[in-house]
């Protein structure tokens, strides 16, 4: 009997450690996203500066800007997918944790409700990433394209 209890304890420790590592991974994903957004913004600034200095043509600037917005779209999809994958993994570990609690104590904490997602920082990170992408997409079509044409005309 001791081995079974010891096994449950070790499994419980493992589940808690995995949940903690998922939290750490979320912050790393967010940091990578912030760096990538800054790099894409700097690249777009350089495209504008080079066009203003007549170092590149309007066609090259337009293509470069389009490539940057496509890279932003790919980055957005990747980050959102990683965060959703992290949430799903957390839910699986939470289910494992509840199973162990049920075995040991006879009952477990209440199951996770959909409304609980409003308390998770991952939800707000996903919403922020989608908002940033939406604003950048709007700025690309409404502000950047006319700006490039204006700068090329000088």
Helix 145-153 and helix 2-52: axis angle, to 10°?
A: 30
| Burial class for 33, CB neighbours closer than 10 Å (0-12, 13-18, 19+) | buried
75 falls in which pLDDT band (50, 70, 90)? very high
Share of the chain above pLDDT 90, in %: 68
Question: pTM for the complete prediction?
Answer: 0.86
pLDDT of residue 154: 60
Give residue 64's domain range: 2-153
The full DSSP string for 57-112 is -HHHHHHHHHHHHHHHHHHHHHHHHHHHHHHHHHHHHHHHHHHHHHHHHS--PPPP
Phi, psi of 54 (to 5 degrees): 60, 30
Count of domains observed in the chain: 1
pLDDT of residue 10: 86
Q: Cβ neighbours of residue 109 under 8 Å, at least 6 residues apart?
A: 98, 101
pLDDT of residue 2: 66
pLDDT of residue 111: 85
Least confident of 25-34, 69-78, 144-153: 144-153
């Amino acid at each position: 009997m001791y081995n079974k209890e010891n096994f449950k304890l070790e499994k419980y420790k493992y589940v808690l450690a995995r949940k903690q590592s998922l939290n750490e991974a979320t912050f790393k994903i967010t940091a990578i996203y912030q760096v990538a957004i800054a790099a894409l913004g700097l690249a777009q600034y350089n495209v504008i500066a080079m066009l203003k200095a007549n170092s590149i043509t309007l066609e090259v600037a337009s293509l470069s800007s389009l490539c940057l917005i496509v890279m932003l779209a790919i980055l957005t999809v990747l980050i959102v997918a990683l965060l959703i994958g992290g949430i799903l993994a957390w839910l699986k570990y939470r289910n494992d944790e509840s199973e162990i609690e049920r075995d040991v104590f006879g009952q477990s904490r209440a199951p996770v409700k959909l409304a609980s997602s409003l308390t998770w920082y991952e939800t707000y990170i996903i919403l922020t990433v989608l908002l940033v992408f939406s604003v950048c997409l709007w700025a690309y079509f409404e502000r950047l394209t006319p700006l490039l044409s204006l700068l090329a005309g000088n």
